Amino acid sequence: MQINIISTYREIIALCDSELLGKTFEQGEFQLDVKESFYKGKEISEEEAIKTMQEFYAEDATFNIVGEKSTNAALKAGIISKDGINTIQNIPFALVLI
């Protein structure tokens, strides 16, 4: 998994499955771009991803999560529920805006 922590007025946590970097998914009128400029950061393990998401969730960060491994880690971290996961071309993604 790749994690990129972007600091603005609030932290944005961009997390994606590494193999999805640079790909675009389209379904109907919807498009999901997994841009390297946004998602590429540090390669981390599931355990590191869970810990990082929990820490930043407590600080009111926002999250952009793409991919099966990444959304599963977010489920385990308790920051999303299964109802919060959508799919485009069978690629799961979730947004957490606080």
Domain boundaries, the chain: 2-6+19-80
What topology does CATH give the domain 2-6+19-80? 3.30.1860
Distance of alpha carbon 66 from alpha carbon 73, whole angstroms:
11
**C-alpha distances in Å from residue 80, one per residue of 9, 37, 87:** 22, 24, 14
Q: Is pTM beyond 0.85 here?
A: yes
C-alpha dihedral over 12, 23, 94, 41, to 10 degrees? -30
pLDDT of residue 7: 94
CB atoms within 10 A of CB 96: 17
DSSP collapsed to 3 states, 47-87: HHHHHHHHHHHCCCCEEEEECHHHHHHHHHHCCCCHHHCEE
β-partners of residue 87 are 92
pLDDT of residue 98: 72
Of 82, 73, 81, the closest CA to residue 54 belongs to: 73
pLDDT of residue 28: 92
pLDDT < 70 positions in the chain: none
